[in-house]
Structure 1
């Protein structure tokens, strides 16, 4: 067992993102995870034509890839998947699930790749190896019985890494089964985007493509840690800075990747002290202060334009664009003029002078990119935060022109693509009539369960069966201890996975664990080696070919597993060719094109295009698919009320050695944390006000009174450079502090970036 309570030390991290530190970290990862030769061979083909799309983040792929088209985190994810460690049947014979529940996330995944189908035996408290036929027969019987009783009591969850082909088959399985219960990791991250943007610009995704970075005049960054979450973007940011493009960053923490970068592929920067300063202005906004900060920017721009018009000088706003392409400007502008600077400063934690400086930078640029991540979406007002970025860009026509646009940065490598091919709980977003026509059935028309509704159903018992296509649901979601306790009452739990994780060691009734191929592995089917496809953050589809031998000959592909579950649990349907689809994934792509002909025209012929096949995006062409037919300014809600001064705002963070719930080590070199993740980052004055010193153990209690005590007592306090009133802790370790009901108001994204907490010294 690892020790997570070693007292951390925190001298300032002296190095830029990238550079020799990145190369060393990749080397350590490759050796630590095993299979160094397989990893090195695979890295040569990562994000390359004829190779595989990175299994880590969803950042865009270049049409002219570099020789090494991967980042530190992408290399770590590849090494993690190609490990030579195996969790074989003898491993499970040696360990009960009660024992494994005491292991850390790092230790569980560190056991290696799963190789055999497993079924939980409650009499021995162990997983037992079974045949694939036995697994599909047992799962099919259980799902069919639940379907006969109430199909709405079963949930089909998807983590965000499955291919477009598997995702299409999976959503069809759920709808043939009789529900729209298709929650996925979008519900936990960018659902705020897909709710906000259709109301403002008429599309649920961003409008930026990779070549826009070559034409932009300014970049505004909000709540996205590029050095950890999407390091390949640092190349575009570096090139922009070399053209003297200003980058203005709003983020509570000074993240290394947003401060400076040394390109590992630049001989000059590797052999000299040279590096690139990324942010030209860095504004450390308070947790929950983004709405106020964006209001300050918009207020200054509108009032500067008022003054310019009065003086008959050049306007600040793009009045031609606003008049021709937008609606609601007058009401929005009135709200901005009425906003009080003292309240803006209080809520944002930023000075008026700093916000005015940022607004001037925006006003002086012809084409501006607005980039954001979960630092905006995972708030109670997450939808309003996104809409305020849209408002800011609309003021000067920065949607639908080269070098400009709104750019939500997605996490999982195909989470956006899953939504494109029907993974959604919202029936109005799925082509139900077309599915009915193609497959001769009546799809369910009622709204399904998203992630929050699934959690609520597990807690109240209305969810009886759960099928998970990847992911670590119990770790990723809020209220972990409560959910884990309720999970034991499920009738059926089926998990498709490459590695062991916490969700797998919490049995739920009849529990099955099915090992699947990873994307990097060669997927050999009856029709030969198969190609899959994914969608990146910029809405481009890419082909992906496996390049490594499977971890074991017994492992099956996700598509094959989904098809087998469907055949075992559903009545026969001659219109659904499950076996043909598994034999040749090109036939699935033909079905995808038949379902969305306007989006996927010529899919099989075009998806290998250099740089990807771009998805149609009306807003890029200034065609607004909104109710009014124009882009819509949205008035923001009031700023969050000032709470009791004793209440702090907790944001959950990722480390540099982590991808979502997968933790590669207990170190975080960018924050100088070594050998532990059980820490709480605090401003020194907030520490002093509570009588805390560096290294003290903290008692952190959620400041929401709903009858449940949510508390962690094993976090060590670390002084850190972040705004007063804001504290930080690692995801998923701090998820037990987040109530299920603490979510974005419209999108129901868990508000993990702004959890109200009390912090005190832990009892000895």
Structure 2
């Protein structure tokens, strides 16, 4: 087993060279004399995809030994009558390729299908205190959990338990606690069927405390988009990528986080579409791509260049950058009208479908280019070129990720992107629209079927009609509010439907110290992780099936469903033998817990639902009739079925009944501005990672290998601050409150970044993110612009 390299004495290797072997270039001081050499930024010299992607998959298979059936499982992945990938929420096309999976999707499946087993016998050999000192990588490398376990405080160990014992004891604890002091958290992987029942269970138990992983990443989309176009999700479908002329791509790295998106981007570029990218880091996944399923490209190794323009925006600078683009578009429109040419703006669309344009125009006119350049970090000519791309395109898509949503004013950044799209009617038209790229495979779908802390978004009337269920009237709490309740010691119980939440949240040091004070912690999981090593006074691990495994209930083999980023619903059926005969499905575990906890109700038929998931889908269809009608009949159709989206059809469910232009109150989305000596930290994921799951220590697409305990700094900032390649530093939080936040033992690594920006890995740098530092509207942690200072060790 590979060790987790976290010590400050470890050496990091980059591209096969020691750091002191890297080429250096001279830096000239302001008076022209050479004062110091600039370290060479780390870089991957290949393209995204290609043989590197195949080698990455092979490396994980060698580690996990998923068995001879792995190839057949991957072949069926993301296809009708196959299982849907547990990695990202990208679409599953109606006409799939031979291999309809990407490097990270294959890694996720092979990781699930490992031949290693984490048995109660092995866990008994180690105290929880000892296991807590191990990395998540080491814990997950032990393999699949095989049997239920309970925490024994006297021995500080997890011990084997029966399912009957687990359900009875958890139910007794839940009934002892105040329901309002209990949280039911859901990671974004659980399918629609267990998610729908989980929401019913929580409300029948007596609370709306149903945060999910969306709170940590894309809740800003749900809140921000809802305000301006009336839809909490993106407006595009997969087919729009076949018809767009330009894509404005902000704050998302497809090479690492959604590699199956790269082929559609490549195809769009090959037919003439121009991609304009805004990102602090120059990411290979947005620069060039070799399609592993294209024999000619694989033989010739000639990549497709992707980005027409690539702008390294400051952290949080997207608002200002988009303001500059809009300023140029309005200027081009005025020039066209003066010349008697066709206007750039779509006057008919603006008059019929939008509100607030005049106020937005006034804001743009009042905002000077000096302010735009200072806040975005991008020069005016570059932004004008981006505006020209927009003005000359018929159909424009806006694609974005957490580089937009994880900011204090992320909602305003989303509003600015919508402003740009609205100028020429680029929402509700083929080849145009707004497309947030979701992470977890069903995080959007969970919200759709009722996992929400907001009562106004829950199908309360349908619960009353279908189940005679009166739900609690008050809102529950978001993930950030749950964590605050943990710190305040007012949250007493926690059930985690997947995930590794304690590792994913901000303010690690404070939160981890308080986590074990809860009365009850329950984890529905497939592998060990760090959150399991912070047991409450009563703590249980309940092992479940993975999506690729055969789920057999009373009525036979079961299908589950999930929703992608384009609002399409797919059936998923697993056919691999379960890792252990003792495993249960997530649906079965929820039903058994609910049955043990709740008093009998005639219309809450947990045994019936557990035995036949088709009955659950009928309930989903009756609850959300317009979107899920005939769900059982439609779920396996190629490409999934579309549940619809009002904004896609130019039906604006906003207060004004129209799409709303907004006036940003800030030009930079970071909540704390620039100051001498202050950097803004952007947390990122590696090529060997999915959320908190670490597959290894290779970040191939950035040219980084060997350790995750690094901080990326621009060579110019290194020279200015007297730092050398390989220096050890401590990052210190600079948020201005009374809490000292530090991460020690980080190796300085030169990287191509804007001045004043540093980058490092999530979740290792989460201790630097204050819990209160989040988007104003959504409370999503602002992990893409964290104020910090560097202290040399």
TM-score by length of 1: 0.98
Report the secondary structure of 2:208's partner residue: coil
**In structure 2, how many angstroms separate the alpha carbons of the residues matched to 1:514 and 1:358?**
51
Report the secondary structure of 1:52's partner residue: coil
> Is 1:285 aligned with 2:313?
yes
**In structure 1, how many angstroms separate the alpha carbons of the residues matched to 2:598 and 2:477?**
21
Q: CA shift at 1:692, angstroms?
A: 1.3
Contact 2:354/2:661 (<8 A) preserved: yes
Output aligned runs, 1:670-689, within 5 Å. 670-689=701-720
**In structure 2, how many angstroms separate the alpha carbons of the residues matched to 1:654 and 1:594?**
39
Output aligned runs, 1:153-302, within 5 Å. 153-302=181-330
Contact 1:4/1:675 (<8 A) preserved: no
**In structure 1, how many angstroms separate the alpha carbons of the residues matched to 2:160 and 2:666?**
56
Deviations 1:438-466 (A, max 9, x none): 11121011110110100100000110000
Q: CA shift at 1:689, angstroms?
A: 2.4
1:2 aligned residue: 4
1:75 aligned residue: 106
Report the secondary structure of 2:151's partner residue: strand
Contact 2:5/2:709 (<8 A) preserved: no
**In structure 2, how many angstroms separate the alpha carbons of the residues matched to 1:311 and 1:748?**
47
**In structure 2, how many angstroms separate the alpha carbons of the residues matched to 1:7 and 1:645?**
31
Q: 2:755 aligns with which of 695, 708, 724?
A: 724
1:745 aligned residue: 776
Q: CA shift at 1:319, angstroms?
A: 1.1
Q: CA shift at 1:347, angstroms?
A: 0.7
**In structure 1, how many angstroms separate the alpha carbons of the residues matched to 2:72 and 2:251?**
35
Contact 1:682/1:726 (<8 A) preserved: yes
Output aligned runs, 1:362-377, within 5 Å. 362-377=390-405
Contact 1:523/1:557 (<8 A) preserved: yes
**In structure 1, how many angstroms separate the alpha carbons of the residues matched to 2:653 and 2:286?**
34
Report the secondary structure of 1:718's partner residue: strand
Contact 1:496/1:516 (<8 A) preserved: yes
**In structure 2, how many angstroms separate the alpha carbons of the residues matched to 1:696 and 1:204?**
45
Report the secondary structure of 2:282's partner residue: coil
Q: 1:385 aligns with which of 402, 405, 413?
A: 413
Contact 1:8/1:718 (<8 A) preserved: no
Q: Which moved more, 1:319-328 or 1:703-712?
A: 703-712
TM-score by length of 2: 0.95
2:653 aligned residue: 625
Deviations 1:175-204 (A, max 9, x none): 001111000000011100010111111110
Q: CA shift at 1:300, angstroms?
A: 1.4
Q: 1:102 aligns with which of 133, 140, 161?
A: 133
1:411 aligned residue: 439
Contact 2:568/2:640 (<8 A) preserved: yes
2:26 aligned residue: none
> Is 1:643 aligned with 2:674?
yes
> Is 1:761 aligned with 2:792?
yes
1:535 aligned residue: 563
Q: CA shift at 1:642, angstroms?
A: 4.3
Deviations 1:653-695 (A, max 9, x none): 0000100000000111112221210000001121222221111
**In structure 1, how many angstroms separate the alpha carbons of the residues matched to 2:236 and 2:585?**
33
Q: Which moved more, 1:295-304 or 1:228-237?
A: 295-304
- In structure 1, stretches of 5+ residues that fail to align are none
Contact 1:302/1:337 (<8 A) preserved: no
Q: What is the count of residue pairs matched by the alignment?
A: 759
**In structure 1, how many angstroms separate the alpha carbons of the residues matched to 2:688 and 2:372?**
36
Report the secondary structure of 1:617's partner residue: coil
**In structure 1, how many angstroms separate the alpha carbons of the residues matched to 2:401 and 2:570?**
22
Report the secondary structure of 2:386's partner residue: helix
Q: CA shift at 1:708, angstroms?
A: 1.3
Contact 1:376/1:385 (<8 A) preserved: yes
**In structure 2, how many angstroms separate the alpha carbons of the residues matched to 1:642 and 1:89?**
50
Q: CA shift at 1:9, angstroms?
A: 4.1
Deviations 1:520-553 (A, max 9, x none): 1000111101000000011000000002110001
Output aligned runs, 1:466-505, within 5 Å. 466-505=494-533
> Is 1:344 aligned with 2:346?
no
Q: 1:444 aligns with which of 447, 472, 480?
A: 472
**In structure 2, how many angstroms separate the alpha carbons of the residues matched to 1:3 and 1:451?**
30
1:611 aligned residue: 639
**In structure 1, how many angstroms separate the alpha carbons of the residues matched to 2:676 and 2:399?**
32
Contact 2:80/2:637 (<8 A) preserved: no
- In structure 2, stretches of 5+ residues that fail to align are 15-41
2:27 aligned residue: none
1:568 aligned residue: 596
Report the secondary structure of 1:565's partner residue: helix
1:31 aligned residue: 62
> Is 1:12 aligned with 2:16?
no
Give the CA RMSD over aligned residues: 1.0
**In structure 2, how many angstroms separate the alpha carbons of the residues matched to 1:702 and 1:39?**
44
2:690 aligned residue: 659
> Is 1:124 aligned with 2:124?
no
Deviations 1:425-450 (A, max 9, x none): 01101111111121112101111011
Q: CA shift at 1:241, angstroms?
A: 1.0
Report the secondary structure of 1:37's partner residue: coil
**In structure 1, how many angstroms separate the alpha carbons of the residues matched to 2:673 and 2:783?**
19
1:401 aligned residue: 429
Contact 2:13/2:706 (<8 A) preserved: no
Report the secondary structure of 2:348's partner residue: helix
**In structure 2, how many angstroms separate the alpha carbons of the residues matched to 1:232 and 1:716?**
32
Report the secondary structure of 2:494's partner residue: strand
Report the secondary structure of 2:752's partner residue: coil
